[in-house]
Structure 1
Amino acid sequence: MNTVNTKISDLISEEPTSIYTPGTSIHDTWETPSFAVPRGGEKFIIYLKGTNKAITNVNGEPLLEEVVDTTDKRVQWFCVERNNWIGFQSIESFLYLNHDGGDRMVANGPQFSRYEYMVPRHHPDGDYQLLSPVHYDHLKKAANLDNGPILKYFDHLLHTDTSESTVMDNEEEFYIIQTLSTLLVVSIIFTLNAFIVMVAACNNLVSDGSVERRRLGIVGSTTLLETKNINPRYHVPGPVLLAMYQISYELMKELLQRHGRDYQQSLKPTE
């Protein structure tokens, strides 16, 4: 079986940035050239595009290292396929490329199962992106950080801290927190509105200490509702109630609109 020297490159040359962390990017992502199609039953050497560095099995950890000898089993990966999933098995250790349950790529999978699944996605420029279902709900892209040897899986949004370790951008968590805060404020305002309406309803029953009688229809009979001797000092003037309601309503509307604009802005792709 011939070894196919397959270039796996950095994911496009774009630099996706986070809304809240401008100027950060994924330095390298992965693709294979158009002439090499990842398929089961073939051997591959997986290079970083534009370099002589390839994914190398170093004691169970896939690291980017310079390829000195293409016959070195540490740089050779046997491609397997099952249920339309692609996987790469080390020729040296017979273990699979996988992830550690988080975002780090490792090479210690004893069998081809969920953690070892990969999706080589063809890119319009040719080649293939290496994706992995690190979580059930989405695929993450394989990349190395700051030209280093360590490989991880990233979303399209990320940033690095001062120690150059990888941290996922907290945008999703931020929006969860922001959503909860908005709902809390809206709930308070809604409660205030309900209180205002209740006071307004009480105003309709309040007179200057006299007795009011109102009739309520109750299935087949009539009941008198009496409101007696309500202290007039609790009477809130109508214009004040109206002003309070309008202010709280406008505040609630502005909060919801602002949150909607911010959320829509966060969904716009980076140009």
Structure 2
Amino acid sequence: MALDHIQPKPISDHKQSTVYTCPTPPESTTPGLLEDLDDLDPLHSPKSNGSSVPWPGSTFIISSVSTGHAIALRGGQVVLAPPGGRESIHWECVETKGWLGFRNPVSGKFLGHDGRSGKLRCSGRAHEGWEWFCVRQTPEGGYVLLMTHWEKLWPVGTMMEGGEKVLAKVENAVSDGIVWKFIKV
């Protein structure tokens, strides 16, 4: 294999000294490298599922990756509803003491849990401990929503109440939480 194209070539300057340089090949990227970079861009990665990064100062629809249903406020109750209904599905992301919070712009109240059963509610007038969230990205794409309860983080999932599945902080491992995507609006 001839390597003449990468051998140093002498260049003379006006002082009669010689400098050796290697020419730069016309291809400046490795084949396949740009395709691999897509995984570094969460909005354009095949793993992103169309999700944005939850960030204070933005408004989102918080939707289950598996069902497409969104966290919604219906008649004062937090539900998981299919898109296109009359429920309020927009959540303003805020930050207090490093914790994320989600305020419903229609009610002006914060998403949180009730502290006893762990059921999600939207009744907090201020962004305090029961309304604090941590969002953790999953290796497969999407995010797990974690809520504080004393000194522990609990994933948001579903539990049975009165024969129905309701959104709640669930005590089981993070793997039992719902994987969410955040659609910026």
TM-score in terms of structure 2 length: 0.60
Contact 2:70–2:81 (CA under 8 A) maintained in structure 1: yes
Partners of 2:98 and 2:54 lie apart in 1 by: 12
Partner of 2:135: 120
Matched residue count: 123
1:111 to 122, 126, 129: 126
Paired letter, 1:64: L
Is the aligned partner of 1:151 residue 2:152? no
State the SS of the aligned residue for 2:57: coil
Contact 1:64–1:149 (CA under 8 A) maintained in structure 2: no
Partner of 1:54: 70
Partner of 1:68: 84
Partner of 2:107: 93
Partners of 2:122 and 2:153 lie apart in 1 by: 18
Deviation at 1:148, TM superposition (A): 4.8
Q: Structure 2: any 5+ residue segments left out of the alignment?
A: 1-47, 174-185
Q: Structure 1: any 5+ residue segments left out of the alignment?
A: 1-31, 158-271
Contact 2:136–2:145 (CA under 8 A) maintained in structure 1: yes
Partners of 1:34 and 1:53 lie apart in 2 by: 14
State the SS of the aligned residue for 1:145: strand
Partners of 2:58 and 2:165 lie apart in 1 by: 25
Bigger share in helix: 1
Partner of 1:78: 92
Distance 1:148-1:65 versus aligned 2 partners, 3 A rule: farther
- Find runs of 4+ consecutive structure 1 residues off by over 2 angstroms: 32-35, 145-149
Greater relative CO, 1 or 2 (CA 8 Å, sep 6+): 2
Bigger share in strand: 2
Partners of 2:122 and 2:130 lie apart in 1 by: 10
Partners of 1:149 and 1:76 lie apart in 2 by: 22
TM-score in terms of structure 1 length: 0.42
Aligned-pair identity (%): 27
Deviation track 1:124-182 (CA, whole Å, cap 9, x = no partner) reads 22221100012x2211110023695510111226xxxxxxxxxxxxxxxxxxxxxxxxx
Deviation track 1:4-47 (CA, whole Å, cap 9, x = no partner) reads xxxxxxxxxxxxxxxxxxxxxxxxxxxx8574101101111111
Alignment of 1:1-271 (within 5 A): 33=49, 35-68=51-84, 74-102=88-116, 103-134=118-149, 136-145=150-159, 148-156=164-172
**C-alpha root-mean-square deviation of aligned residues, in Å?**
2.3
Contact 2:81–2:87 (CA under 8 A) maintained in structure 1: no
Distance 1:34-1:127 versus aligned 2 partners, 3 A rule: farther
Paired letter, 2:98: N
Partner of 2:30: none
Whose Rg is larger?
1
